[in-house]
């Protein structure tokens, strides 16, 4: 079997790349180990806690015991289904801050500054915002972006509390001004999860140019320094799917470095340990692993206004039935309808703390708080300096890689999280929450000192599921870079990486939007096109950032 392009992974970036290549008339084969995304667990937005915890849809990765979290092992979900992690995520749509991309360019990712990537965000979007910055947004792309109805009074209480605490309100955090409190955006359209599979892959397949193959990608086949295909296991047999032009690895920031290493691309000594012949000695493969951590700060409600009243068999059945027949009601929302991006202290030039607000006190796995009616904020710092690595456990492709984030390994991480907790308590102490506030569930009002807060953080901090950075983009002469600014793997011809692995540094907020943007931009590089013309739109930076925290 041969095709012009072979893409490993039908995830956020892989689907976008396949769509644009097909649009240009190219033949594409997409390899995906997971199966169909049909069924309510994926397509119903409110059911988001289910697919992430189902082995059918999730690779089931876990970290090694994390040394700075008392040896805790954390889940690292990655989508194993068409749409990849866009089919199991929380559907939150955040581009990232303009300064994130300017930082990428400063780190050697030339052509990836905010001015360069904004046109790609606009190309991919079909924005349905009711207020915001139309000049910064796209209105005819494949990816529909909507806002929830904010019918629950707690959503607007959260935004009002932020304003009362002295923070700005932003009409559109994905537009000119990220900083502030406002409505959250989601990849939801007509009451359904609008994953990369729905937005990109299925329309691309309808062109007849994209063939989807269900198989397990073992390694990239490299002959005389050039990638010529992908070795897969399918139906118990091993075969090679050949690419006449290029191979694109878009398998996630966990599986992409694993596949590169199994193909002979990585730190030479590490590959030799596992009996793998070195094709390109790139020590950056698997290194630079980073993520966002968050805490769930929970509060008991004094009124029965939260979603807890539906957190029983009958309530869930009623929501599910309404959604099944009408695509409306509570089932049509991910319940993340209000959010905030703030700065932690004076001297920080753009937001470094993110909030997701939720009108129920519940864990991400769907287990509700024992206290009943409540609400919570997910809060965490955006730019931890801690770094980890993905390494091989074995030279056998069937064995999962070792994942070590080294979470909280820098003293600044602890200071950042203590700040997050104290700033959050102040926000929830505002008048806007007085009609709804009963008491703090967790950490609990008795937990006040640095040492007490640190104990709580160590025991309760969770991944926000934003791993990235394991095949970093940079200059071709940078020994720690894995791909150049055109996504080409340095040292191998005909091979590119297009997913969150290439991020030099994690962006502000959730990673689905910037991952899709990478797929969009990589497609232009694969097609040999000139990049879209840079934008001249200027982002807003708080003029008093040097002296004020808000």
Average pLDDT over residues 17-43: 97
The domain locations on the chain are 1-148+193-286+468-529, 150-183+293-381+409-460
Residue-wise pLDDT for 294-342, tens only, equals 999 999 999 999 999 999 999 999 999 999 999 999 999 999 999 999 9
pLDDT at 220: 98
Q: What percent of the chain has pLDDT over 70?
A: 99
Peptide bond into 159 cis (omega under 30): no
Annotated binding site: 81, 89-92
**pLDDT-derived band of residue 262, with 50, 70 and 90 as boundaries?**
very high
Question: CA 18 to CA 336: how far, in whole Å?
Answer: 30
pLDDT at 507: 98
**pTM given for the model:** 0.98
- Sequence-ordered list of residues with C-beta below 8 angstroms from that of 361, at least 6 positions apart, any chain: 296, 298, 299, 300, 306, 308, 368, 369, 371, 373, 374, 375, 376, 441
Residue 260 burial class via C-beta count within 10 angstroms: exposed 0-12, middle 13-18, buried 19 and up: buried
Question: CA 131 to CA 338: how far, in whole Å?
Answer: 14
Residue-wise pLDDT for 351-382, tens only, equals 999 999 999 998 767 777 778 999 999 999 99
Average pLDDT over residues 165-180: 98
pLDDT(281) > 90:
yes
Question: CA 380 to CA 510: how far, in whole Å?
Answer: 12
Residue 101 burial class via C-beta count within 10 angstroms: exposed 0-12, middle 13-18, buried 19 and up: buried
pLDDT at 130: 81
Cα 479–chain centre separation:
27
Residue-wise pLDDT for 444-473, tens only, equals 999 999 999 999 999 999 999 999 999 999
pLDDT at 369: 74
Q: Which residue has the higher pLDDT, 36 or 49?
A: 36
Question: CA 443 to CA 424: how far, in whole Å?
Answer: 11
Average pLDDT over residues 111-140: 95
**pLDDT-derived band of residue 225, with 50, 70 and 90 as boundaries?**
very high
pLDDT(2) > 80:
no
**pLDDT-derived band of residue 1, with 50, 70 and 90 as boundaries?**
low
pLDDT at 248: 99
Average pLDDT over residues 165-184: 98
Sign of dihedral through CA atoms 506, 507, 509, 514?
Answer: negative
Question: Strands, DSSP E only, in 328-373?
Answer: 338-342, 353-358
- Token code pair at residue 234: 């399918």
CATH of 150-183+293-381+409-460, one of 3.10.330.10, 3.90.230.10, 3.30.410.40, 3.40.50.720: 3.30.410.40
What 3-state class would DSSP assign to 455? helix
What 3-state class would DSSP assign to 358? strand
**pLDDT-derived band of residue 443, with 50, 70 and 90 as boundaries?**
very high
Residue-wise pLDDT for 495-528, tens only, equals 999 999 999 999 999 999 999 999 999 999 999 9
The catalytic residue positions are 466
Annotated binding site for FAD: 81, 89-92
Average pLDDT over residues 407-415: 98
Mean pLDDT computed over every residue of the chain:
97
pLDDT at 41: 94
Does domain 1-148+193-286+468-529 correspond to CATH entry 3.10.450.350?
A: no
pLDDT at 371: 85
Asked if 369 and 191 count as a contact pair (C-beta separation under 8 A), the reply is no
Centre a 10 Å sphere on the Cβ of residue 514 and count the other Cβ atoms it contains: 27
Question: CA 337 to CA 158: how far, in whole Å?
Answer: 10
């Amino acid at each position: 079997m041969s095709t012009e392009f072979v893409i490993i992974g039908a995830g956020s970036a892989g689907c976008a790349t396949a769509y644009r290549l097909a649009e240009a008339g190219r033949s594409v084969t997409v390899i995906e180990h997971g199966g169909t995304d049909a069924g309510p667990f994926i397509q119903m937005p409110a059911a988001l806690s289910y697919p992430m915890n189902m082995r059918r849809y999730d690779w089931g990765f876990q970290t090694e015991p994390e040394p700075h979290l008392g040896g805790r092992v954390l889940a690292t979900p990655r989508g194993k289904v068409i749409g990849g992690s866009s089919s199991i995520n929380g559907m939150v749509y955040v581009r990232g801050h303009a300064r994130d991309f300017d930082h990428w360019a400063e780190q050697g990712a030339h052509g990836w500054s905010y001015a360069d990537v904004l046109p790609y965000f606009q190309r991919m979007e079909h924005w349905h915002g009711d207020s915001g910055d139309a000049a910064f947004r796209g209105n005819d792309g494949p990816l529909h972006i909507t806002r929830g109805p904010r019918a629950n009074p707690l959503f607007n209480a959260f935004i009002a509390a932020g304003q009362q605490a002295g923070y700005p309100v932003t009409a559109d955090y994905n537009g000119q001004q990220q900083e502030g409190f406002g409505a959250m955006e989601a990849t939801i359209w007509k009451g359904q999860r609008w994953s990369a599979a729905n937005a990109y892959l299925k329309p691309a397949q309808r062109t007849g140019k994209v063939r989807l193959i269900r198989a397990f990608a073992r390694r990239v086949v490299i002959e005389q320094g050039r990638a010529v295909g992908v070795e897969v296991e399918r139906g118990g047999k091993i075969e090679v799917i050949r690419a006449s032009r290029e191979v694109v690895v878009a398998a996630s920031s966990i599986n992409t470095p694993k596949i590169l290493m199994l193909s002979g691309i990585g730190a030479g000594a590490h590959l030799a340990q596992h009996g793998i012949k070195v094709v390109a000695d790139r020590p950056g493969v698997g290194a630079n692993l980073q993520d966002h951590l968050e805490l769930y700060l929970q509060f008991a409600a004094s009124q029965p206004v939260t979603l807890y009243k539906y957190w029983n068999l009958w309530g869930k059945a009623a929501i599910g039935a309404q959604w099944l027949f009408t695509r409306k009601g509570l089932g049509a929302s991910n319940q993340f309808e209000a959010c905030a991006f703030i700065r932690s202290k004076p001297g920080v030039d753009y937001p470094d703390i993110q909030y997701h607000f939720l009108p129920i006190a519940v864990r991400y796995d769907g287990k509700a708080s024992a206290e009943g009616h409540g609400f919570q904020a997910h809060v965490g710092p955006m730019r931890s300096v801690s770094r980890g690595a993905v390494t091989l456990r074995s030279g056998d492709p069937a064995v999962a890689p070792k994942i070590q984030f080294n979470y909280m390994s820098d003293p600044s991480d602890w200071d950042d999280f203590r700040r997050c907790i104290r700033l959050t308590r102040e926000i929830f102490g505002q008048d806007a929450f007085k009609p709804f506030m009963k008491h703090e569930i967790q950490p609990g009002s008795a937990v006040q000192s640095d040492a007490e807060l640190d104990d709580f953080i160590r025991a309760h901090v969770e991944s926000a599921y934003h791993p990235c950075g394991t095949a970093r983009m940079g200059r071709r002469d940078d020994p720690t870079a894995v791909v150049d600014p055109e996504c080409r793997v340095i040292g191998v011809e005909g091979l590119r990486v297009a997913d969150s692995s290439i991020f030099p540094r994690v962006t502000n907020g959730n990673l689905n939007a910037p991952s899709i943007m990478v797929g969009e931009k990589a497609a232009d590089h694969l097609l040999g096109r000139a990049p879209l013309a840079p934008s001249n739109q200027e982002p807003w930076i708080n003029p008093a950032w040097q002296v004020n925290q808000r």
